[in-house]
Amino acid sequence: MGYIKLHPNDAAKFDAPERIDFEITNIGLRQQAAVEKACKHTIRWMFDQLQGVPELDENNNPIPVPVVDDAGNPVMEDDGVTPKVTEKLRRDPEALAMLVYLALWGAGIRTDWDTFDVHEIGLEVHLADEDEPSEGKDEAPETASESTTIA
């Protein structure tokens, strides 16, 4: 089961708890259809955007960016000389808003998409089966399959 944590002001605005647990695989077809109709995007589009879409240069090639560690230092290939690179990804903020909207729907909270807005600052989204970090446990799981934190 995943969860989102709303900024306290957003939780108050939606009359929602700050933490909303949700199981993304338990979305019913009618709920999916209603959310897709309201948001004018598909659930598939939302997930593609949340994973990131490669940003392309003028020749339609993915833009390479260096891989850096948590301290901002370049990560090297196994040869110890060549810096690792990956594709620059962009994410549509509307996809994150749609995920929060979907979680609110799953919690029984209805709001109009046309006036819906949520703040990214203070928002946490955890899609994987994951507990909140406990005291003394400051390391995140190693792989994306164990944890996918969006914001």
pLDDT in tens, 103-128: 998 888 999 999 899 988 888 888 76
The radius of gyration computed from the CA coordinates of the chain, to the nearest angstrom, equals 18
150 — pLDDT class (breaks 50, 70, 90): low
In this structure, is the dihedral angle defined by the CA atoms of residues 27, 33, 39 and 43, taken in order, positive or negative? positive
* H/E element, 10: helix 8-13
Write the pLDDT tens digit of every residue in 13-26. 999 999 999 887 77
Q: Does the pLDDT at position 134 exceed 80?
A: no
Q: How does DSSP classify residue 25?
A: G
Q: How many residues does the chain have?
A: 151
Describe the crossing of helices 29-39 and 43-51 by its angle, rounded to 10 degrees.
70
pLDDT number for residue 146:
33
Two tokens, residue 43: 């659930």
Provide the greatest CA pair distance for the chain. 54
134 neighbors 85 (Cβ within 8 angstroms): no
pLDDT at 136: 42
Q: Which helix (H) or strand (E) holds 115?
A: none
- Tell me the per-residue pLDDT of 72-87, one tens digit each, with 9 for 90 and over: 899 999 999 999 999 9
- 37, 105, 130 from 126: Cα distances, Å: 24, 17, 7
What pTM was estimated for this model as a whole? Answer: 0.69
| DSSP secondary structure letter of residue 19 | E
pLDDT at 144: 30
